[in-house]
Each structure stands twice: as C-alpha cells, then as structure tokens.
Amino acid sequence: MNSLARWVGLVGAAAGIGTLGVVLCGLWRGTRRPKGRSTGLAKWMLRWPVYLIIGILFFGTCFLLWRPLPLSLTPLTDTLMLVFGALLYFSGLTLVLWARLTLGKMYNVSSSLGAHLYANHQLVTQGPFAFVRHPMYLGIMAASVGGLFTYRMWTFVFLAIVFLGLVVRAKREEQALAAEFGEQWERYCQQVPGWIPRVRRRDHKTTAETSDKEP
C-alpha cells in the first residue's frame, strides 16, 4: 500500500505541476493583451507586482504547511481514502485543463475584489462551459478536496478553505460578463447552471412524436 500511495503521490504531483504550468502560461499571455471592461478593484489589483506578492505569500504558506495531518487510519480506511481522493483529484485537474484550453485566448485571472475582461471579449459557452458556468473553479475545488484525501497534508486543508473564495470570485466575473453581454449572458445563465450540472430530461413533446411514429 505504501508503494501505491507513493506512486499516486508522484503522479499527482507531476499532474498538478503540469496543470499549474498551463494556467500560469495563460496568465502570462493574458497580461500582454489589451484589457476591456473591469469590475471592482481589478485595475489596481490585477497587476504584476500584486501577482508576485500574492504568489510568494500563497506558495510560501503551502510550503510551510506541507506537514502530515495527525491521522491514525486502518489499512482499509487508508485505501478507501486514497482511491476516493485520487479519483476526485485527477478528475478535478482534468476539468481545470479542459476549461483552460477551451477558454483559449479568453482566459484571464480575476480576484474576489474585481475582474477584467479583454477588449473584444467573447463569451465561451462550449466544452465544459456547456454544462456549468464555472468548470475551472469547480475543478480547482474538487482537486483541492481530492488532494486532501490523497496526501493528507495541512497544505490541502489550507487550499480547500482558500478556494472556497472562488465562489465570490465567480460572482465578480459574472457581474462583468452580465454588463458586457447583456441578454446573451442572461440566456446562457438560464440554460447552464453555475456549479452543479443539470440532468437533462427528454422533451415530452419530442418523446410523444417519436412514439406516434413507431409501428
């Protein structure tokens, strides 16, 4: 079991670093594009000096908290937590990557205090955005909780708590998008939920018509 946990941990670390690299690459490209509509304090908060300070504090805290949780588990519980955590962790990272690549040039970083759109910004509604409005944030939160079950380090307790703030950040982004796209955004919100995908039911009229055509 220790061997399995070690391999899952190594693969998970590589996947997490790779995902972070893709996200940071998008952030770098986004800083070089002309900005459009903004909300809140985005004009002052979303700058490279602020990114640098927040990054140092964030990753420094993660490093200092990389200590095991004081848990005493049975072998069965240990295995179940590892399997559950790995499934949630890797699923979350996959969703983050899918959403990030789907956004393409429209990807930008916001904060709980404000959000930026680009000049000539386009509303992305395909890929994972056809199921939920905030798939990237949902994936980040899922990965942080999955990492807590997989690694059982204080770092992931910190991440799971901090990433709850993504709900507030999402509201800031929605304010900017609503102001930018108006009715198009309203229609999108009516069709696609914010966080939990809907189980789509078949249209009753279509079902009835299909039944009538059957011999």
pLDDT in tens, 59-68: 999 999 999 9
Residue 179 domain boundaries: 2-198
- Predicted local distance difference test score (pLDDT) of residue 204: 40
Q: Assess if residue 115 is contained within a domain.
A: yes
Q: Assess if residue 91 is contained within a domain.
A: yes
pTM of this prediction? 0.86
- Predicted local distance difference test score (pLDDT) of residue 112: 64
- Predicted local distance difference test score (pLDDT) of residue 78: 92
Q: Assess if residue 206 is contained within a domain.
A: no
Q: How far is CA 179 from CA 81, 119, 132, 172, in A?
A: 43, 14, 20, 11
Q: Assess if residue 145 is contained within a domain.
A: yes
Nearest partner of 132 among 71, 35, 41, 198, judged by Cα: 198
Within the chain, residue ranges assigned H as helices are 2-30, 42-45, 48-64, 75-103, 135-151, 154-162, 166-181, 183-191, 204-213
- Predicted local distance difference test score (pLDDT) of residue 40: 63
- Predicted local distance difference test score (pLDDT) of residue 209: 39
Rounded CA-CA distance 192/130 in Å is 7
Q: What is the CATH number of the domain that holds 72?
A: 1.20.120.1630
Q: Assess if residue 204 is contained within a domain.
A: no
Q: Assess if residue 167 is contained within a domain.
A: yes
Q: Assess if residue 203 is contained within a domain.
A: no
Rounded CA-CA distance 215/137 in Å is 48
Total structural domains in the chain? Answer: 1
Q: Which residues of the chain have pLDDT under 70?
A: 1, 38-48, 111-114, 200-215
- Predicted local distance difference test score (pLDDT) of residue 45: 57
Q: Assess if residue 136 is contained within a domain.
A: yes
Give the model confidence (pLDDT) of 166-196 as tens digits.
Answer: 998 898 889 889 989 999 999 999 999 999 9
